[in-house]
């Protein structure tokens, strides 16, 4: 796989979406990979597939008693909303990237507060 490829779980928690963030990764047989040739639409497709709408549709398609499964056909039949207005698509992606950055920074801040609290609890009550 390549960095920024889009991954979709086909088994278990079906329809979960993530991105490859490193190089030289191998693909599991129960994970679908989307390799988008046009970088302008790669983020847009990732955000569309990251929606609850996609996950819910994949859950509805899932089959199996002990462990739910979907196949490539289920993923391929999902309709991605599209616009011919490239600025509209870029604005959506830019907004979502800013939101992702805010989430990432706040998670790091929360982790630091938790670490500080743990440190204080371990050192205050000696």
Please answer whether residues 28 and 78 qualify as being in contact, where contact means their C-beta atoms are separated by less than 8 angstroms: no
| Residue 20 structure tokens | 């490859």
* C-alpha–C-alpha distance, residues 95 and 38, integer Å: 19
pTM (two decimals): 0.83
Please answer whether residues 86 and 40 qualify as being in contact, where contact means their C-beta atoms are separated by less than 8 angstroms: yes
The 10s digit of each residue's pLDDT in 7-65 is: 999 999 999 999 999 988 888 889 999 998 887 789 999 999 999 999 999 999 999 88
Please answer whether residues 49 and 8 qualify as being in contact, where contact means their C-beta atoms are separated by less than 8 angstroms: yes
* C-alpha–C-alpha distance, residues 33 and 4, integer Å: 10
In this prediction, residue 91 has a pLDDT band, given cuts at 50, 70 and 90, of very high
| Residue 59 structure tokens | 């859950």
């Amino acid at each position: 796989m390549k960095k920024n490829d889009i991954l979709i779980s086909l088994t278990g928690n079906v329809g979960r979406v993530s991105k490859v963030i490193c190089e030289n990764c191998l693909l599991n047989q129960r994970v679908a990979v989307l390799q988008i040739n046009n970088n302008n639409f790669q983020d847009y497709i990732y955000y569309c597939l990251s929606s609850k709408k996609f996950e819910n549709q994949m859950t509805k398609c899932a089959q199996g008693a002990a462990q739910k499964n979907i196949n490539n056909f289920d993923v391929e039949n999902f309709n991605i909303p599209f616009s011919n207005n490239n600025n509209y698509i870029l604005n959506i992606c830019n907004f979502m990237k800013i939101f992702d950055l805010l989430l990432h920074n706040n998670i790091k801040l929360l982790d630091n507060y938790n670490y500080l609290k743990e440190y204080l609890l371990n050192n205050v009550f000696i």
